[in-house]
Amino acid sequence: MNFPKPGKNRNQDRKPLFNMYWMYGLIILSLLALYYFQDGSQTKDVNWSDFEKAALAGDMDKIMVFAQNGTAEGFLTEQGAKNQHFDMSPQMTGDKKIKTTIPSSDKIQDKIDIWNAKLSAEGKPEIKVNYEKGSDLMKVIWYFGPIILIIVVMVFMSKRMSGGAGGTGGIFNVGKSKATVFDKNNGTNVTFKDVAGLAEAKVEIEEIVEFLKNPQRYTELGAKIPKGALLVGPPGTGKTLLAKAVAGEADVPFLSVSGSDFVEMFVGVGAARVRDLFKQAKEKAPCIVFIDEIDAVGRARGRNPNMGSNDERENTLNQMLTAMDGFQSNNGVICLAATNRADMLDKALLRPGRFDRQIYVDLPELSDRVEIFNVHLRNIKCNSKLDVEQLARQTQGFSGADIANVCNEAALIAARYNKDSVDWSDFMKAIDRIVGGLEKKSRIITDEEKLAIATHEAGHATITWMTKYGNPLVKVTIVPRGRALGAAWYAPEERQIIPTQALLDTMCGLLGGRAAEDLFLGQIGTGASDDLEKCTKIARSLVLVYGMSEKLPNLNYNDSTGQEMGFTKPYSDDTAKTIDAEVKRIVNEQYERAKEILRQYAAQHNQIRDLLVEKEVIFHDDVEKILGKRQWKSRTDEIIEINRKEEADRKTRAIESSVRVKPEVTDNNDSADDAPDDDGTPPPFTRQ
């Protein structure tokens, strides 16, 4: 490893700078000063005889006796202050007082009574007396209360700003970046070996590590070292993990921050933190800066600047833009950032010279999922017969995080049944649980409701079976799960291009549940709301996005950039009416079509419904027995496989629980042999 020597001592503490927070302190101090000197009162210490003289001269109008510490204060009248020559400044407008120690607290009242008698005899106004009993405590509170209050507020604010765990803390540190630094001594123990899948992204990222290790290899050929790379991808796909692996392997310091760390309630703090972060990075160069969730600061700047509200974020972003571009390209600071919405990011951030490369971290493919499963199954005690590839096939559309969740959930389920290893059925239950939610056996469903649910689900099943593009059915269930009372599960075929008819057939299938209720029960229920929502969305996108409707062909009113937020629609009122009419027409047509199909296959539908009421869960094969082989070829082979496996499993479990034979007797494992190799990724379960 021959990278340039790091700039300075890494662990050197950075001195607090003279910054605007000192200004805040000064302002508070001057406010305090004002508070204490505002009344302009003056107090003069005098001895008892002078005090008495002043009293008898009629120069006092009030006496305050502090019995506790044996003192008294006399308030001089305007005239009295002049008479007594206690060199008090006449400019100050506040009270002018003289203070003395009283000879005896008990006698003071008598003394004042005597003075008052004399004064009234001379026709002068009497002196009022006040006793201050509560010692000086009240005074102390009155005097120091505000300071204490300010200190409490400051402590509270600095607590808040340090943000709890390990924060740099303190009000004078708000401008500091909160970067966590990993280096040779305290690296993460994640390496590229722990990152399963993501082959392409890994190559790109490994190259970045290579840039830092051997920069001359690239610079000798005249290549410039990139300044940044942006990891883009859906949540849970391992962007942060990838960055952690870089930290583990890079052998250079790795500064990690989250985009939201730049967001603070004070003006200028975000920008100050960006400056500080990059200053820190420069000192440690060569190094890697990782900004997680960069969309917190990097969102596109608004078009109308008078909105004002996100000025602060824009300042932060501008600072980041200049910080990244202010570097010489060879000074060895590489910026990594992760986000799941690259389309939201400011274009200036994405231009070459800042984040030159964008690395897409996609949802894992079949082979990636096998790898991911293998990583997560390392720590799980599995049944030796467990077919990992089959598991990967069942989890299309799952992210790495989802798969981790499946593995954990399966282990939990196995533990619940006191098994000594996790087997296939546990994984199937875990997948169902994650896609569909918690099974709710306790929910009380009347026979009438059960019939309605079965009618609805049988409607979905019949329609999808009888339409060309209907997704291949996996199973139909009326066991409540999550928010749903029942569901039809499909293994949708993955299509890159979807013909119009496929959209229409999908809509028809979604409406099949409601149509069946309508046709066979004579009344409809609220339960279909979710179906209707999905269906209407498809109809809208058919008109607005894909330009597939008759009246508005080839028009797209979609704003994929997400920038044109506003109150104006990109079409006229007339067009809006046409859009509405088209959406209504399309949905209506499919509803009528669904009803027509159901009329045609009423007998079969009712058979499916009755079977459902009886068995609660029915599979592809049961439906096939009733409706016959599907006219349209689809990748049903695998689906049949899934069913057989699950059904066999159910039977074994039923036997197990009644006879208590040795577990794991039937786990027919010949499936992997005849499964297609690389092309046929079986699609995920979806349901209606």
Residues that bind ligand NHX (CB under 6 A): 453, 456-457, 460, 483-488, 513, 525-531, 688
Active site residue 656: no
Question: Looking at beta carbons only, is 215 or 512 nearer to ligand NHX?
Answer: 512
CA angle 242, 246, 252 (to 5 degrees): 160
Q: Tell me which stretch binds Zn ion (CB under 5 A): 122-130, 206-214, 275-283, 527-535.
A: 527-535
Contact of residue 332 among ligand NHX, Zn ion, none (CB under 5-8 Å per partner type)? none
The option from Zn ion, ligand NHX, none interacting with 146 (CB < 5 to 8 A, set by class) reads none
Element (H, E) at 100: strand 96-101
Interface residue with Zn ion, options 312, 531, 641, 667 (CB under 5 A): 531
Minimum CB–partner distance for residue 275 and ligand NHX (Å): 47
| Smallest distance from ligand NHX to CB 463, Å | 11
CB nearer ligand NHX, residue 309 or residue 526: 526
3-class secondary structure, 542: helix
Residues 6+ apart with CB under 8 A from 17: 175
Contact partner at residue 486 from ligand NHX, Zn ion, none, CB < 5 to 8 Å by partner kind: ligand NHX
Token representation of residue 509: 């299938």
CA-to-CA separations, 539 to 502, 571, 584, in angstroms, rounded = 12, 18, 8
The helix (run of H) or strand (run of E) holding residue 130 is: strand 128-131
> What residue number has its CB nearest to ligand NHX?
527
353 touches 227 (CB < 8 A): yes
Q: Please tell me which residue in 293, 314, 409, 457 is annotated as part of the active site.
A: 457
Beta bridge partners of residue 228, listed in sequence order: 335
- Closer to ligand NHX by Cβ: residue 250 or 618: 618
Quick check: 303 and 568 in contact, CB under 8 A? no
Residue 485 touches which member of Zn ion, ligand NHX, none, C-beta under 5-8 Å by kind: ligand NHX
Judge contact between 359 and 310, C-beta under 8 A. Answer: no
Q: CB of 453: closest distance to ligand NHX in angstroms?
A: 4
Output the smallest distance, CB 265 to Zn ion, in A: 47
Q: Whose Cβ is closer to ligand NHX: residue 292's or residue 517's? A: 517
Which C-beta is closer to Zn ion: that of 513 or that of 683?
A: 513
What is the Cα–Cα distance from 537 to 535, expressed in whole angstroms? Answer: 5
Give the one residue of 513, 682, 683, 684 binding Zn ion; rule: CB under 5 A: 513
Cα gap 641→671, rounded to integer Å: 7
Q: Which stretch binds Zn ion (CB under 5 A): 211-219, 334-342, 528-536, 632-640?
A: 528-536
Q: Whose Cβ is closer to Zn ion: residue 362's or residue 530's? A: 530
Tell me how far apart the alpha carbons of residues 189 and 593 are, in angstroms, rounded to a whole number: 59
Residue nearest to Zn ion (CB): 513
Q: How far is the CB of 527 from ligand NHX (least distance, A)?
A: 2
Q: Are strands 487-490 and 686-687 parallel, antiparallel or unpaired?
A: antiparallel
- Decide if residue 74 touches Zn ion (CB under 5 A): no
- Which does residue 430 touch among ligand NHX, Zn ion, none (CB within 5 to 8 A, set by kind)? none
CA–CA separation, 681 and 171 (whole Å): 55
Q: How many residues bind Zn ion (CB under 5 A)?
A: 3
E-assigned strands of 249-376?
Answer: 254-258, 287-292, 333-339, 357-360
Q: How far apart are CA 465 and CA 604, in angstroms?
A: 11
CA angle 528, 529, 532 (to 5 degrees): 85
CB-based contacts of 257, cutoff 8 Å, min separation 6: 177, 178, 179, 180, 277, 289, 290, 291, 292
Interatomic CA distance for residues 46 and 75, integer angstroms: 13
Residue 483 site contact among ligand NHX, Zn ion, none (CB < 5 to 8 Å, cut-off depends on kind): ligand NHX
* Shortest CB 513 distance to ligand NHX, Å: 5
Task: Please report how close the Cβ of residue 684 comes to ligand NHX at its closest, in angstroms.
Answer: 15
Nearer to ligand NHX, 264 or 457 (CB): 457
Amino acid of residue 221:
L
529 contact choice in Zn ion, ligand NHX, none (CB below 5 to 8 Å, kind-dependent): ligand NHX
Known catalytic residues are 457
For binding to Zn ion (CB under 5 A), which residues are involved? 513, 531, 688
